[in-house]
Chain A
Amino acid sequence: MEVFQNMVTGFAIAITPMNLVLCLVGCFVGTLIGVLPGIGPAATIALLLPVTFNLPPATAIIMLSGIFYGAMYGGSTTAILVNIPGEAASAITCLDGYQMARQGRAGPALGIAAFGSFIAGTFGVFLLMLIAPPVADMALKFGPPEIFAVMVLGLTILNYLSSGSLIKAFIIGLIGLFIGMIGIDIAGIYRFTFGIPDFYDGIGLVPVLMGLFGVAEVLLNLEQIVTRHIFETRIKGLLPNREDWKRSAMPILRGSFIGFVMGVIPGPSNTISSFVSYAMEKRLSKSPDRFGKGAIEGVAGPESANNSACAGNFIPVLTLGIPTSAVMAVIVGAFIIHGVTPGPLLIKNNPDIFWGTIASMYIGNIMLLILNLPLIGIWVRVLKVPYGILFPLILLFCFVGAYANNNSLAELNVMIFFGLVGYLMKKTGFEPAPLVMAYILCPFLEEAFRQSLIKSHGDFSIFIKRPISATILAIAAGIIVLNVFSGVKQRRKSLLEKIKEED
């Protein structure tokens, strides 16, 4: 088979000593910056690009890609340990991962995140290898109406992202939408910016995440006398046990699949895929009330999804030269600077880069697993540090992360503000996840909506006339109907029970 031949060539390139070493360097750096919030893979790859100038192109790409998917491994670490997502895609891991850490189960959480990422990442690369071109063509078919449909689908699962009341989930989601509208819109007008130039492109995702998850959590903990232990001190095992694996097997599988499919779609697909995976696992679970309190499925699914999404991200880049996100755009820039033009001819003109990169992604995933597993022991020890010393460091961490994001002091204000908001939210029964989801979706949702209407000259039927968007919207409608149904069913059940009681 042709693919097999190509992979052999690819591996031959990937296992040369220099490529192996630099793959490791990339993965290591990636993990590091995944742990550090605010310094994302895009900025790091751009920063390290000059370092690669004297390297052959294949080696450079291998190293830089390693940074990217390495960051996905690292992002879950801080999400689990201190409720701060290192990457937006790990935000949903905070929900159950952090709770597991509070219960002394940080080890299994980190472990299942690592293993799940590995399985999903490898699965993703496998698919990338086999079906890249046809999948890329399919991705191209996603124009404004289709993207709108996908975003709508994302909104319909809002209520699964919260364990509180339905009304509050939607209210907080709407607030997330508003925050997403701050800044310039596609017609060029500035909305809700109050004349602050730093907000012209929005208030930034990182400060909002830092504030809502990190700062708010610290403030909540500060209420108690800080000499008390926030984390359960008896560490219950360092790795996932058999029960954990049993629960996580299907989520990992499903997550891998969802992540890969969504990774190909342009937009914030890595993040959305992890949220969708969470919602799916909650829906399919026999005991959904465990979610939000430390259910390991809530870690296994999303972490797998965001890793296989990385592989999906590469498909449009390697086959068509089009980046679907900011990080991919930097990688495309890296190609260009090295004199390799990414585009439809990449596989023909530079097969060594194409197959070498894919092969090194397999190796990279293995390296990352080996790198992250022993670290679990160290991370778990970090939690034993008295909270009185830990929390100033956490706050410092948040500050550096929020500032480094855009070198903006105004974003620090945003972070502090959302720290307050997050604190109040927790006190009044609102959860942050729906807000984050809506915030991320909003720009794409609105942009796609308006672009579609411009294209169709105001004709709304454009969303239904096109097959892909019609299908996705139908699924979204189906989910809404399902929700209403089960809500009605619940009400009827409790009504019947009440009647029975009164008898």
Chain B
Amino acid sequence: MKTRKQHMMMVAVWVTLSLLLTANGFAQEKFPSRPIQFIIPWAPGGGGTVNAQALQPHFEKAIGGSVQIINKPGGGGTIAWNYVANAAPDGYTVGVTNQSFILTQYTTRTGVSFKKVDPIIMVIDMPAALAVRTDAPWKNFKEYIGYAKANPGKVQMGNSGMGANYHVSALGIEMVTGVKLTHVPFKGAGPSITALLGGHVDSAVSELPTLLPYVEGKKFRLLVVGSPERNPAVPDIPTMKEEGYEQILIGAWYVWSAPKGVPKNRFQKLHDAFKAAMEAPEYRELYRKLGGVARYMGPQELPAFYEQEDRALKKIIDFSGFKPIE
């Protein structure tokens, strides 16, 4: 026979348990009530982390909460993107995507389709350029292509990894100019630049922020930029179109995305906070010096943008016959 006291105890336990279990269900809580996780698919110190860190202080102020930058490197970025796509759509997880995000569907077995995430905002567009050393025999793009055409396979192009963004860009150059290069893979952008510096490869493609210090230091010469217009940081460098070739977009854009299904009001809050952050003068100044363009694109245009990038990149992938092997 259970006494009153025991009954009360049981009720108390049940109530406590149900409160604990449903605590998460209280949607009335203020957003954000805990740190928002910025998931970066690469190791700390790289462009993605720098971008997150540049946005962080202003974002936190705008949204009234705190940010936790978490690096989840690996698998060419797919570990992080899988994590974001499968995360709870409660607005507390966002991740940064770039061209590799679109590419990894085709180059790896673990890539995530861009349709699985909701893009929030584009915060930066960093055009890339083709660089050679200042003591190289080619003074401009024409000479470079001319030599490469006459000597197929002789010109060495370093890249940041097979199937990575700039490798595909180099393949794109091959596609539109008809030359054949030798692609030497490195683990990441840093080593490929170092290799160019040391003379171990003849050329490399990388984004302007990375290349500019060496251009200013008279170590590198840029031959062509990968954006549709000339870049204000390097106004003398022509675009591919000016050189007479079909323009392929070479560069790195960062689009912050969230898993599909985040409630509308939270999604809007995230978007507005990002927008405020990218309009902050410190953010603009930082990237102005680096040659990046704080180009904005919102959630209305982004899905179409993803599609457009997907088409362009897929064209190059099909041309090169690149297939994931496991």
Which A positions have Cβ atoms within 8 angstroms of B? 42-43, 45-47, 49-50, 53, 140-144, 184, 186-190, 197-198, 200-201, 266, 316, 320-323, 326, 328-334, 336-337, 339, 341-345, 406-407, 443, 447, 451, 454-455, 457
Contact = CB atoms under 8 A, between A and B. Distances in A.
Interface of B: 43-46, 49-50, 53-54, 56-57, 69-76, 78-79, 82, 107-110, 153, 156, 161-163, 182-187, 190-191, 193-195, 197-201, 209, 212-214, 216-219, 285-286, 289-290, 324-326
A201 B197 contact: no
B324 A188 contact: yes
B45 A188 contact: no
Contacts of A333: 44-46, 49-50, 53
A42 B198 contact: no
Given A200-B110, A201-B73, 5 more contacts: A46-B44, A322-B193, A344-B219, A345-B217, A457-B153
B185 A186 contact: yes
Contact of B45 (A326, A344, A447): A326
Contact of A322 (B45, B69, B183, B190): B190
A46 B71 contact: yes
Nearest to A199: B74
Contacts of A337: 50, 53-54, 286
Contact of B163 (A53, A188, A341, A343): A188
Contacts of A50: 53, 56-57, 69
Contacts of B190: 322-323, 329
Contacts of B185: 186-187, 451, 454
Contacts of B56: 50
Contacts of B187: 186, 443, 447
A418 to B, nearest CB: 19
Given A43-B44, A186-B187, A339-B286, A321 B213 contact: yes
B325 to A, nearest CB: 4
B45 A331 contact: yes
Contacts of A328: 45
Nearest to B187: A447
A143 B82 contact: no
A144 B196 CA distance: 12
A143 B184 CA distance: 12
A142 B186 contact: no
B194 A197 contact: no
Contacts of A184: 75-76
Given A46-B71, A197-B78, A200-B74, A330 B45 contact: yes
A187 B72 CA distance: 22
A342 B43 contact: no
A321 B210 CA distance: 10
Contact of B325 (A43, A189, A407): A189
Contacts of A320: 197
Contact of B156 (A141, A407, A455): A455
Nearest to A267: B191
A454 B290 CA distance: 33
Contact of B217 (A142, A186, A343): A343
B45 A142 contact: no
Contact of B197 (A198, A322, A334, A451): A322
A140 B194 contact: yes
A42 B162 contact: no
**Which residue of B45, B78, B286 has the most chain A CB atoms within 10 A of its CB atom?**
B45
B213 A342 contact: yes
B49 A46 contact: yes
A329 B325 contact: no
Given A50-B53, A339-B286, A140 B162 contact: no
Given A184-B75, A329-B43, A344-B219, A336 B50 contact: yes
A4 B24 CA distance: 63
Given A339-B286, A343-B213, A143 B200 contact: yes
A49 B53 contact: yes
17 contacts: A184-B75, A186-B187, A188-B76, A197-B78, A200-B79, A322-B193, A326-B43, A333-B49, A333-B53, A336-B286, A336-B290, A337-B50, A344-B214, A451-B184, A454-B182, A454-B183, A455-B201
Nearest to B44: A46
Nearest to B186: A451
Contacts of A186: 161-162, 185, 187
A454 B50 contact: no
A184 B107 CA distance: 12
Contacts of A345: 213, 216-217
Contacts of A140: 194, 197-199
Q: Which are the 8 A-B pairs with shortest beta-carbon distances?
A: A343-B213, A344-B217, A143-B200, A46-B44, A329-B45, A330-B45, A333-B45, A200-B75
A188 B194 contact: no
A46 B52 CA distance: 11
Contacts of A342: 213
A443 B213 CA distance: 29
Contacts of B156: 455
Contacts of A322: 190, 193-194, 197
Contacts of A336: 50, 209, 286, 290
A53 B193 CA distance: 27
A141 B198 contact: yes
A188 B168 CA distance: 13
A142 B195 CA distance: 9
A188 B217 contact: no
B87 to A, nearest CB: 13
B214 A343 contact: yes
Nearest to A348: B217
B70 A407 contact: yes
Contacts of B107: 188
Contacts of A198: 74, 79
Contacts of A142: 198
Contact of B200 (A321, A455, A457): A455
